[in-house]
Amino acid sequence: MSTILKAENISKQYRLGTVGTGTLGDDLKRWWYGMRGKEDPFLKVGAVNERNSAANEDYVWALRDINFEVKQGEVLGIIGKNGAGKSTLLKLLSRVTAPTTGTIKTRGRIASLLEVGTGFHGELTGRENIFMNGAVLGMTKPEIKRKLDEIIAFSGCERYIDTPVKRYSSGMTVRLGFAVAAHLEPEILVVDEVLAVGDAEFQKKAIGKMQDLSTGEGRTVLFVSHNMASINMLCNRTLLLEDGGIRFDGITAEAISSYLNYYSGEEIKDLEDRIDRLGDNKKFKFNSVELHDSEGVVSDVFTSGDYTRLRIGFKYGGIDINKLIITVGIKQNDELICFWAFDELGFRLEKNSSELNLEIPNLNLRGGKYHFWLFSSYGNTREENYCDVIDKVLPFEVIPGDFWGSGKINRNTSKMLLDGNFQ
C-alpha cells in the first residue's frame, strides 16, 4: 500500500496565559529575527505539555517532533490521556491550524469530524445543514442531492430532518454531522472522540461505516478515542501520545497494554493515596486490596483454574453497613468487565468488620493481564449515592493452564472459561 499521509518533525507551540497566539512584542521580535535571517527565537523556549504541573514558562509545546506515516486503507488509532496532544495533532492534520515546525504531506480530500456540531447553524433545519455542511466539506450541490436520502437514513433523524438543529440533542447533532462526513467519500477521514456522545446503536453503525470505508473502499481513517474496546475493534495500528510526543507506535493490543499499564502502574501500589476515584469517600473508602493463593500467600500471578482469594480492606463512618452495596469487577485491557461479584453473592460484610473476602475456587479466566474495578454505594446505585468507585486496581496475570483437566493447555479465545461437565 502506498503512503497517503506523512508527518515529518511536526511540532506545535502555544503561548500560555490570556493571550492566545502571541503579543506585539513577540511578533516584532520574530519579524526582526526573520529579517536578519536568524531562527525564530521562541523555538528554543517552551515547556513540555504536562497539564498537571504549574507553568513556569510563557510557552508550551503541545506537540514536539512527531513523525509517522499512514498507508492507504489503514485505520490508525490515536490514544493517550487528556492533554497528551491528540486533538492538536488532528487539527494539524486537518489543516485547522498550522504546525510551528515540520511538514505534513497528504494525498486526496480530508474530512474532519473534530467537534460536535461544527459548522451547523442552529436556526437552520437538519436538511439545510446537510447542504451547508456538505459544501463546507467540499461536496458539490449535485453530489449532496444524490446522497441526501442515504445521509438522512444513516443519521436516523428522518422524523426531525426539517426541524431546526437548535432543538436537536447533542447525540442527534453528532449523528447528522458524522453522516455528512462519512458520505463525503474522502481519501482520509479524521474522527475525534465525538462518537462517545452517540448511543450504542449509532456507535456500532459508525464503526461499521469506518470499517467499510477502510476495507471496502480503501480509504484511510484516523480515529481518536478513550474507548479502548472501540480502538481494539477498529484499528490494527495505534499511536500512544504522552506529553506531546509519541510514546508508542505499533500493534493496537500492545499500545493499549502500554497505555493502561503506564498510567495505572505507579498508582495502584497504595490504594489509600489514590485520588482518581469517584463518590463521597468520607462515608466509605477502600484502603487496601490483596490477592492470595491457596496457601494464603500474596501473589499477582495465577494459572487458569487456581484457587484465588481477594481481600479488600475498607473504612467507614456514620452509615448503616447493612445498606451498603459493594460490587467487584475484573477487567482486561479492552476495558470490558468480564467478571462480576456482588456483596450478596460470594462474600458477606460482617458487622463491625473492616474487610471483606471474595473466594474464587476456580479462576475461570484465560491467560492474560487483568485488573480489578471496585464499586460501593449507599442505599442504591444512583450516582449521587456513590461512596467509592475506583478503577485499575491490583493488576494481576493469568497463565493459561489445563482448566478442564484434558491434559492440554487451554487455548480458548473467550475471556471466561465455562466451568461444568459436558455430555
- DSSP, res 270: -
Contact 218, 72 (CB under 8 A): yes
Domain count across the chain: 2
> Cα separation of 333 and 349, whole Å?
30
**Helix 126-136 with 170-182: angle, nearest 10 deg:** 50
Q: How far is CA 274 from CA 94, 336, 393, in A?
A: 38, 22, 10
Claim to verify: residue 77 and residue 224 sit in the same structural domain: yes
State which of 262, 289, 311 marks the end of a domain: 262
Claim to verify: residue 189 and residue 160 sit in the same structural domain: yes
Domain around 276: 271-399
pTM of the entire structure? Answer: 0.58
Claim to verify: residue 181 and residue 76 sit in the same structural domain: yes
Output the pLDDT for position 41.
64
Residue 355: inside a domain: yes
Claim to verify: residue 253 and residue 357 sit in the same structural domain: no
Write the DSSP string, 5-23.
Answer: EEEEEEEEEEE-SS-SS--
> Cα separation of 366 and 305, whole Å?
9
Output the pLDDT for position 161.
92
Residue 110: CATH number of its domain: 3.40.50.300
> Cα separation of 238 and 78, whole Å?
6
Output the pLDDT for position 421.
43
- Number of helices and strands (H, E) in the chain? 8, 19
State which of 208, 231, 262 marks the end of a domain: 262
Residue 107: inside a domain: yes
State which of 209, 230, 262 marks the end of a domain: 262
Output the pLDDT for position 357.
84
Claim to verify: residue 106 and residue 123 sit in the same structural domain: yes
> Cα separation of 360 and 346, whole Å?
8
**Burial (0-12, 13-18, 19+ Cβ within 10 Å), 230:** buried
pLDDT tens per residue across span 202-223: 777 777 777 777 777 778 888 8
pLDDT tens per residue across span 277-292: 888 777 888 888 899 9
DSSP E strands: which ranges in 137-198?
A: 188-191
Residue 234 one-letter amino acid:
L
Contact 107, 220 (CB under 8 A): no
Claim to verify: residue 291 and residue 231 sit in the same structural domain: no
Claim to verify: residue 101 and residue 208 sit in the same structural domain: yes
Residue 43: inside a domain: no
**Residue in the structure block whose three cell numbers are 479502548:** 228
Claim to verify: residue 218 and residue 297 sit in the same structural domain: no
Question: Residues of 100-133 as b/e, b for ≥16 C-beta within 10 angstroms?
Answer: bbbebebeeebbbbbebbbebeeebbbbbbbbbb
Claim to verify: residue 252 and residue 278 sit in the same structural domain: no
Pair type for strands 75-79 and 220-224 = parallel
Residue 64: inside a domain: no
Claim to verify: residue 193 and residue 298 sit in the same structural domain: no
Claim to verify: residue 253 and residue 288 sit in the same structural domain: no
What is the mean pLDDT, run by run of 10 residues, along the chain of 423 residues? 88 67 66 74 56 55 90 89 85 86 87 69 91 84 91 89 89 84 81 66 76 78 80 86 89 80 52 76 85 87 86 83 83 73 55 76 83 85 79 83 62 55 39
> Cα separation of 110 and 108, whole Å?
7
| Closest to 70 in 3D by CA, of 14, 170, 2, 152 | 2
- What's phi and psi for 331, nearest 5 deg? -120, 155
